[in-house]
Chain A
């Protein structure tokens, strides 16, 4: 059973690395959101694996999965709200053109 846990956690680590690369390397806002979604999916895999193989009698772990899903929804909602505002004012969601947001 320990190998199943290791496989699930390794998948989570690989998804985290891929998502981090995507979030940092992409110039398009929607693609950056995709990278963050992958990172959060990695967190989901880890939490479910910890619940299944280490603490199956603890329903709080499953509740935490629902919270991460809520964070995914909030992140996407806020991201697309900003994307629409940006597209309406500048006609583009390219982040190379949004350097002014640095302040």
Chain B
């Protein structure tokens, strides 16, 4: 048992457990916080796998994203604290079967597949960031710029949809 294996299992278990808590609690704020902890545990898994840049990026990005999500929860929900224990699920059986079949299919591929030889040495953190920078500004530049433009377009489109005048007001 290497330290990497132990920490990977620990943070992986935390990520899955908090992911389950998201859908088990009646409180929407707790759901958003559980998702934040789950995503943070994923970021910590990245750090354990020696992807320092991606790990820190994941934690910073998800901390902001989930805080925004918690604010939206409080804004939109009739019962954000979950005190009324409202039922907010439907088609539970179908969902359980779909999730279960997806899980079993993925586990079968993982545990029955032949992954070949596993790398033991990886570039250090500074080298990884340098390589990623060259990749982003080299052969993957078009893809990276397209992603940036897509985010910008989504932001403008979402704002336009959100502020569009309602029918009652336009009369």
Contact = CB atoms under 8 A, between A and B. Distances in A.
Q: What does DSSP make chain A's interface, helix, strand, loop or mixed?
A: helix
Interface residue tally on B, bucketed by range: 35 or more
Does more than half of chain B's interface fall in helix, strand or loop, or is it mixed?
Answer: helix
A9 B12 CA distance: 10
Nearest to A72: B65
Contact of A30 (B73, B120, B147, B167): B73
Interface residues of A, number: 72
Contacts of B123: 56-57
Contacts of B147: 66-67, 70
A98 interface: no
Given A20-B102, A26-B89, A59-B134, 11 more contacts: A1-B119, A4-B5, A12-B106, A17-B103, A18-B20, A34-B69, A41-B15, A56-B119, A78-B154, A89-B166, A96-B90
9 contacts: A1-B119, A15-B15, A26-B88, A35-B23, A48-B54, A54-B119, A55-B119, A84-B162, A93-B76
Interface of B: 2, 4-5, 8-9, 12-13, 15-16, 19-20, 22-23, 28, 31-32, 35, 38-39, 42, 45-46, 49-51, 53-54, 57-58, 61, 65, 68-69, 72-73, 75-77, 88-92, 94-96, 98-100, 102-103, 106-107, 110-111, 115-116, 118-123, 128, 131-132, 134-136, 139-140, 143-144, 147-148, 150-151, 154-155, 157-162, 164, 166-167
